[in-house]
Amino acid sequence: MSGINQRKIDHVNLVATHEELDRERGYFDRIHLTHRALPEQNLAEIDPSITWMGKKLSFPLLISSMTGGSDVELIQLNRTLALAAEAEGVALAVGSQRIMLNEASAEESFALRECAPTALLLGNIGAVQLNYGVGAAECRSMMGVLGADGLFLHLNPLQEAVQPEGDTRFVGLSDRIADLVKELDQPVIVKEVGCGISEGDALLLKKAGVRYVDVAGAGGTSWSLVESKRSSDASIGELFGDWGIPTPVALRMMKPFRSDFDVIASGGIRNGLDMAKCVILGASLCGLARPFLQPGLESVEAVRAVIQRLKREYVTALFLLGVESTEALIGREALIRDEDRD
Note the pLDDT tens digit of each residue in 56-109: 999 999 999 887 666 888 899 999 999 999 999 999 999 999 989 888 888 998
Helix axes 136-146, 173-183, angle to 10 degrees: 60
- Predicted confidence at residue 220, as pLDDT, reads 79
- Predicted confidence at residue 16, as pLDDT, reads 47
- Predicted confidence at residue 8, as pLDDT, reads 47
Beta bridge partners of 212: 189, 262
Q: Enumerate residues 6+ apart whose C-beta is below 8 A from 244.
A: 158, 192, 194, 195, 196, 217, 218, 267
Cα separation, 316 vs 273, whole angstroms: 8
Q: Say how many C-beta atoms besides its own lie within 10 A of residue 202's C-beta.
A: 22
DSSP track, 84-143: HHHHHT-EEE----GGGGT-GGGGGGT--TTT-SSS-EEEEEEGGGGGGT--HHHHHHHH
Q: Are 173 and 210 in contact (CB under 8 A)?
A: no
Q: For the whole prediction, is pTM greater than 0.85? A: yes
Q: Are 36 and 302 in contact (CB under 8 A)?
A: no
Give me the helices (H) in the chain, please: 3-17, 72-88, 136-146, 157-162, 173-183, 199-207, 223-228, 235-239, 247-253, 272-280, 290-298, 300-321, 326-329
User: Which positions of the chain have pLDDT values less than 50?
Assistant: 5, 8-16, 342
- Predicted confidence at residue 25, as pLDDT, reads 62
* Residue 220 to residues 7, 143, 255, 267, Cα–Cα distance (Å): 20, 28, 22, 5
- Predicted confidence at residue 224, as pLDDT, reads 79
Protein fold of 3-17+54-317: TIM Barrel (3.20.20)
Among the listed residues 73, 59, 102, the one whose alpha carbon sits nearest the alpha carbon of residue 11: 73
- Predicted confidence at residue 145, as pLDDT, reads 96
- Predicted confidence at residue 3, as pLDDT, reads 54
- Predicted confidence at residue 232, as pLDDT, reads 60
Give the model confidence (pLDDT) of 38-50 as tens digits. 999 999 999 999 9
Among the listed residues 64, 130, 63, the one whose alpha carbon sits nearest the alpha carbon of residue 98: 130
Q: Are 58 and 87 in contact (CB under 8 A)?
A: no
* Residue 200 to residues 16, 254, 256, 267, 269, Cα–Cα distance (Å): 34, 10, 12, 19, 24
| 211 phi/psi in degrees, rounded to 5 | -120, -5
Q: Are 15 and 285 in contact (CB under 8 A)?
A: no
Among the listed residues 176, 195, 285, the one whose alpha carbon sits nearest the alpha carbon of residue 240: 195
State the distance between the two ends of the chain, measured CA to CA, in whole angstroms. 47
- Predicted confidence at residue 340, as pLDDT, reads 66
Q: Domain map of the chain by residue range?
A: 3-17+54-317
Give the model confidence (pLDDT) of 211-238 as tens digits. 999 999 998 787 778 777 766 667 888 8
Q: Are 149 and 55 in contact (CB under 8 A)?
A: yes
- Predicted confidence at residue 5, as pLDDT, reads 47
89 φψ region: left (φ > 0), alpha (ψ -120 to 50), beta (else): left
What torsion do the CA atoms of 80, 196, 329, 275 make, to the nearest 10 degrees?
40
